[in-house]
Amino acid sequence: MPRKIAIIGDHFMLPDVFRAEIEKAASGGLDIRTLQTAWPDEPMEFGNAALGLDRIKEYFGHPDEIVDFIGDAEILVTQLAPLSDGMMRRLPALKLVAVSRGGPINIDMGAARTHGITVVNVPGRNATAVAEFTIGAILAETRLIRVGHEALRRGEWRGDLYRADRTGRELSEMTVGVIGYGNIGTKVVRLLRAFGCHVLVCDPYVQLSADDRNAGVELVALDDLLSRSDVVTLHPRVTEETRGMIGKDTIARMKPGVILINTARGPLVDYDALYEALVSGQIASAMLETFAVEPVPAEWPLLQLPNVTLTPHIAGASVRTVTYAAEQAAEEVRRYIAGLPPVNPC
């Protein structure tokens, strides 16, 4: 009997790319069906109690349509399809779910364990993309790229940006604080070292690599990082410990005129406190890539400030993110079919 595999992709995680990698990795005896949904042309959702989806977030698709498509498949490969307890009860054949993202937050993990469904993910799938984007974000702020661009768009030639009291600073003379030393944070540190800046890292749950230690990177407490850094860039996961970690108290402990970069998650930041700090100048400028509410409201106060750069949660969007995720998911499918343990069980 062929192994039945359902692939639910979208306009980013292309289902045909996943199909090609699975067929390459586990050739023969496969019955594969694919579905391409409308994300990101249409927004994802963040929980719907009326549909039984209150325990999951960042998903796309109606439960009935998803269940009907998966049907009698034994394996599901997806990025955003939701899977709730109620949906799993209707999918008795389902045994493996490969989620092509860093965290399976669109899956009710408690229910998956109850139903004996193995869930795997792709940690670090976009780590390089986000790290590169972070460096671009830092340069946009430190070298006044956004300021110059917006002036020219208004028909204004900002020759005054050559004044010593207004021009930007080179990274080689700055101290950059990196909060979070996981898949992304470690890559950010490696890239920053090439610019010659002094790098501070705060992460109470890890140790620095020998290579970073030998290069002069320091592992420090949060207060030390905040008081010494010219640039602070955020890379931790959102937990009860980190939620709102950049707020009124922590901002007060930052070096005046600091630049804040957030390419991680919106809930790490108290936006009201950030707004006040940007207006007062305690924070010179900020680059925000992710938000607590997406899309951001058109009337959002931070959209009106001249010292903020904003992008629509695109740091992890690269072609290599897609192909890497497909390769890793295909390997998990191959191992499952071969009776081998998963590489990245959740």
| Catalytic residue ranges | 265, 294, 313
Q: What type of residue sits at position 264?
A: A
Yes or no: say if 225 and 243 are a contact pair by the CB < 8 Å rule.
no
Q: Which residues contact 315 (CB under 8 A, 6 or more apart)?
A: 126, 129, 130, 133, 134, 137, 263, 289, 290
Ramachandran bin of 286, using left for φ above 0, alpha for ψ from -120 to 50, beta for the remaining angles? beta
Helix (H, G, I), strand (E, B) or coil at 299: coil
CA distance 107 to 96: 12
Q: Which residues contact 111 (CB under 8 A, 6 or more apart)?
A: 55, 83, 84, 85, 88
Strand partners, 199: 176
Considering Cα of 124, then 128, then 130, then 134, what sign does the dihedral take?
Answer: positive
Triad 324, 344, 312: Cα angle to 5°: 50
